[in-house]
A and B are shown apart, each in its own frame.
Chain A
Amino acid sequence: GAGVSQSPSNKVTEKGKDVELRCDPISGHTALYWYRQRLGQGLEFLIYFQGNSAPDKSGLPSDRFSAERTGESVSTLTIQRTQQEDSAVYLCASSLRGVGNTGELFFGEGSRLTVL
């Protein structure tokens, strides 16, 4: 596809369950970002990938959150033992070049996570 694709678009889970959110960046984009947006709030930076490595994980809120990227393409954000405060829209973005350049970020439509 032409844009950043995220799945699932909506996920409802029970407290304590693990969830995986997937991001397919634009082909050829070496940089990939994850953000979180709680209802009515701005975007919170979570993690940034350059290729398959993550030079900046500073935004991950706890050790229940992890992310990986393989093949310089798909990325998965995993939340273990979900809590109600994890409910949010998780947004993925990709960029043709990484941090340290002027490349714009292209965002997906997000994965809406609801923890009951």
Chain B
Amino acid sequence: DAKTTQPPSMDCAEGRAANLPCNHSTISGNEYVYWYRQIHSQGPQYIIHGLKNNETNEMASLIITEDRKSSTLILPHATLRDTAVYYCIVRAMGGKLIFGQGTELSVKP
């Protein structure tokens, strides 16, 4: 599976959009981009995933660049409850989810 690179930490003001970047320059054509988050002392929670097109659900939006070498997870109106570690994962067909170190997002009042 392709490796991903994320900043170790980010801050965001409550109510503002949180934009979490992820680089996956070695991604293959059949690999999906997944985002999970882990709130302290809880199991990881699925957020969103995509292949080529941008995706949106009730939690977030996923913007994937045209060359698919990077993506951005957008939380449109961050709340204090969004404070968590966010993991960007690329997953091949037949592959398993390999978690990196993620980005620790702190939403501040």
Asked whether B21 is an interface residue with its Cβ less than 8 Å from the other chain, the reply is: no
Chain B nearest CB: distance from A23 CB in Å? 11
The answer on a CB contact under 8 Å between B43 and A56 is no
Out of B34, B43, B87, B93, name the residue touching A91 (CB < 8 Å).
B43
Task: Given A91-B44, A102-B32, A107-B43, answer yes or no on A45-B98 (Cβ-Cβ < 8 Å).
Answer: yes
Chain B nearest CB: distance from A8 CB in Å? 15
Q: Which of B9-17, B60-68, B70-78, B99-107 contacts A (4 or more CB under 8 A)?
A: B99-107
Q: How far is the CA of A107 from the CA of B39 in the complex (A)?
A: 12
- Chain A residues with Cβ below 8 Å from B102 are 42
- Chain A residues with Cβ below 8 Å from B46 are 104-106
Chain B nearest CB: distance from A62 CB in Å? 19
Task: Please tell me the number of chain B residues within 8 Å of chain A, measured between CB atoms.
Answer: 20
Asked whether A93 is an interface residue with its Cβ less than 8 Å from the other chain, the reply is: yes
The answer on a CB contact under 8 Å between B101 and A42 is yes
Q: How far is the CA of A44 from the CA of B107 in the complex (A)?
A: 26
Please name the residue on chain B nearest to A44 by beta carbon: B99
Please name the residue on chain B nearest to A41 by beta carbon: B101
Q: How far is the CA of A100 from the CA of B30 in the complex (A)?
A: 10
Chain B nearest CB: distance from A26 CB in Å? 13
The answer on a CB contact under 8 Å between A99 and B32 is no
Residues of B within 8 A of A (CB): 32, 34, 36, 42-46, 49, 87, 93-102
Residues of A within 8 A of B (CB): 4, 33, 35, 41-45, 48, 56, 91, 93, 99-102, 104-110
15 contacts between A and B (CB under 8 A): A33-B96, A42-B100, A43-B44, A44-B99, A45-B97, A45-B99, A56-B96, A93-B44, A99-B94, A99-B95, A99-B96, A104-B49, A107-B43, A107-B44, A109-B42
